[in-house]
Amino acid sequence: MGDIGQTEGYPSAGRIPGHVAIIMDGNGRWASQRGLPRTEGHNAGAESVRAIVRTARRIGVKFLTLFAFSDQNWDRPNQEVGALMELLYRYVLGEYDEILQNNIRLTAAGNLDRLPGVVQQALQELIRRSRKNEQMTLCLALSYGGHADLVAGARRVAEDVQSGRLLLADINAEAFESRLLTAELPPVDLLIRTSGEQRLSDFLPWHLAYAELVFASVMWPEFREPQFYEAIETYQARERRYGKTSEQLPSENPRGAQLRAVK
Ligand code: IPE
Ligand code: IPE
Ligand code: MG
């Protein structure tokens, strides 16, 4: 990886993305490459989740959204879906203390009703107990699909117009956004996908509208602190113009300034 130049080895002096979203991909391939069953890849991937949550919190990320299970993943073989649900259950129970002690607020987005009852209960309990925590919000995208998210938003808009709570003239981006399943999430600053795949797979279509996309070639179980720093360094070297020209941007924010500042 590149030299981030910090004595502690992390990019604290740069512009830290407020909302990082990660498509954690490649667990199955990681396992196959080692002659292991796919579920071993998911187990190893859970270790990466722990490492990245810890690091994100430490460097000051305020929102971390992890794509843990998609709407489409329900179509995998029953045995793999079952193993993933069991892993999720163990993760929630196993991280209970760490999340509470580290002042992390847990949330979840997706069609949670499809999750097994015990998983829903454990998840809701930790969501409830951590709801006042302020250091970082960890959002697990579970049974999540972007189209379903947008359709749910459209349905709520229609219901509110029908019942008179919302005027047709008042439908705008904010009104729509506030009715999404993911209403509480801010726009994504940095989207990371591991395993070399370069697609979004129906993840956060609304919030990714202006995200910086970083694709890492390593499989998710190999994505740890150094790879995370490297992704953030890549992000820091990007110039986010939002439709404007370079010259229009504040002078303290020219291309790569933050990166040079920490080198
Ligand atoms: C990501 O790894 C984890 C989930 C989608 C649940 P994969 O299981 O998709 O791994 P690959 O892409 O088959 O290697
Ligand atoms: C996306 O990964 C979903 C998660 C990481 C949970 P997939 O591996 O399911 O995506 P596709 O099917 O390759 O696009
Ligand atoms: Mg995959």
- Spell out which residues line ligand 1, taking CB within 6 angstroms: 24-29, 69, 73, 84, 195, 220
| Number of the ligand 2 atom closest to the C-alpha atom of 199 | 14
The answer, yes or no, to whether any atom of ligand 2 lies below 6 A from the CB of 71, is no
Q: If you ran DSSP here, which 8-state letter would residue 238 be given?
A: -
Q: Specify the 3-state DSSP secondary structure of 115.
A: coil
Write out pLDDT tens, residues 153-185.
999 999 999 999 999 999 999 999 999 999 999
Q: How many CB atoms lie within 10 A of CB 192?
A: 26
Q: What is the mean pLDDT of residues 94-117?
A: 97
Length of the chain: 263
Indicate whether 123 pLDDT > 90: yes
Q: Dihedral angle at the C-alpha atoms of 232, 28, 114, 191, nearest 10 degrees? A: 20
Q: How many CB atoms lie within 10 A of CB 113?
A: 8
- Which listed ligand is nearest to 30 at the C-alpha? 1
The answer, yes or no, to whether any atom of ligand 2 lies below 6 A from the CB of 25, is yes
Indicate whether 260 pLDDT > 60: no
Angle, to 10 degrees, between the axis of helix 117-129 and the axis of helix 78-101? Answer: 20
Q: How many CB atoms lie within 10 A of CB 72?
A: 12
The half-sphere exposure of 187 on its side-chain side, counting CA atoms within 13 A, is: 10
Distance of CA 234 to the CA centre of its chain: 17
CA distances for 150 relative to 1, 2, 144, 173, 183, angstroms: 37, 38, 11, 12, 11
Indicate whether 255 pLDDT > 60: no
Distance between CA atoms of 146 and 163, rounded to whole angstroms?
26
pTM above 0.85, yes or no: yes
Protein residue with least CA distance to atom 3, ligand 2: 70
| Number of the ligand 1 atom closest to the C-alpha atom of 197 | 12
Distance between CA atoms of 199 and 193, rounded to whole angstroms?
8
Q: Specify the 3-state DSSP secondary structure of 87.
A: helix
Catalytic residue among 43, 73, 102, 111: 73
Protein residue with least CA distance to atom 8, ligand 2: 25
Select the more confidently predicted residue: 125 or 254.
125
The answer, yes or no, to whether any atom of ligand 2 lies below 6 A from the CB of 69, is yes
| Number of the ligand 1 atom closest to the C-alpha atom of 29 | 14
Give yes or no: 73 in active site: yes
Q: In what order do the strands lie in the sheet with 63-70?
A: 104-109, 136-144, 63-70, 19-23, 190-193, 212-215
**Residue whose C-alpha is closest to residue 150's, from 123, 120, 116, 173:** 173
Indicate whether 81 pLDDT > 80: yes
Cβ(216)–Cβ(194) below 8 Å: yes
Protein residue with least CA distance to atom 10, ligand 2: 201
Indicate whether 117 pLDDT > 50: yes
Give yes or no: 71 in active site: no
CA of 163 to the centre of ligand 2 (A): 38
For residue 166, give both structure tokens. Answer: 């919302």
Protein residue with least CA distance to atom 11, ligand 2: 201
Cβ(216)–Cβ(223) below 8 Å: yes
Tell me whether residue 238 is exposed, middle or buried, using C-beta atoms within 10 angstroms of its C-beta: 0 to 12, 13 to 18, 19 or more.
middle
| Number of the ligand 2 atom closest to the C-alpha atom of 69 | 6
Write out pLDDT tens, residues 38-61.
999 999 999 999 999 999 999 999
Cβ(206)–Cβ(229) below 8 Å: no
| Number of the ligand 2 atom closest to the C-alpha atom of 201 | 14
CA of 257 to the centre of ligand 2 (A): 34
Protein residue with least CA distance to atom 1, ligand 1: 25
Protein residue with least CA distance to atom 9, ligand 2: 73
